[in-house]
Amino acid sequence: MGDIQSHLTCNVEQFSQRIKMRDNVDEPREVEHFANFAAIKEARAAAAALEKLGYGVTVARRMLFRGTLRAAKIATVDVETADRMVEEVFAVVAAHQGDYDGWGAPVIQG
């Protein structure tokens, strides 16, 4: 399942790196979250839950029964917003026996 605290710590580190790259962290952009599942049906169930929360979600089959999930939403990448999104996606993924794998977003200089 993983530990949410490590992901929240990464948000602070990523914020610091983005500031060094002169990212305009208050500018909305597509933020992608990733997760892996041992069962494709669990990935699909998590996708349905995330869609209800406003995420655009894709699920891909990995091997015979496994699945990967990509959930995206337009948002800023300040620490508070990143924490809120990580907590939201992590909870859904964990509730469906998945492993949250973090998030990414383009750098927007401005």
State pLDDT tens for residues 34-84.
999 999 999 999 999 999 999 999 999 888 788 999 999 999 999 999 999
22-37 tens-digit pLDDT? 999 999 999 999 999 9
Which of 43, 49, 44 is CA-nearest to residue 92? 49
- The reported pLDDT for the residue numbered 81 is 97
pTM for the structure as a whole = 0.93
- The reported pLDDT for the residue numbered 78 is 96
Which of 27, 44, 26 is CA-nearest to residue 35? 44
- The reported pLDDT for the residue numbered 52 is 98
- The reported pLDDT for the residue numbered 63 is 80
**Class of residue 106 by CB neighbours under 10 A (exposed 0-12, middle 13-18, buried 19+):** exposed
- The reported pLDDT for the residue numbered 1 is 52
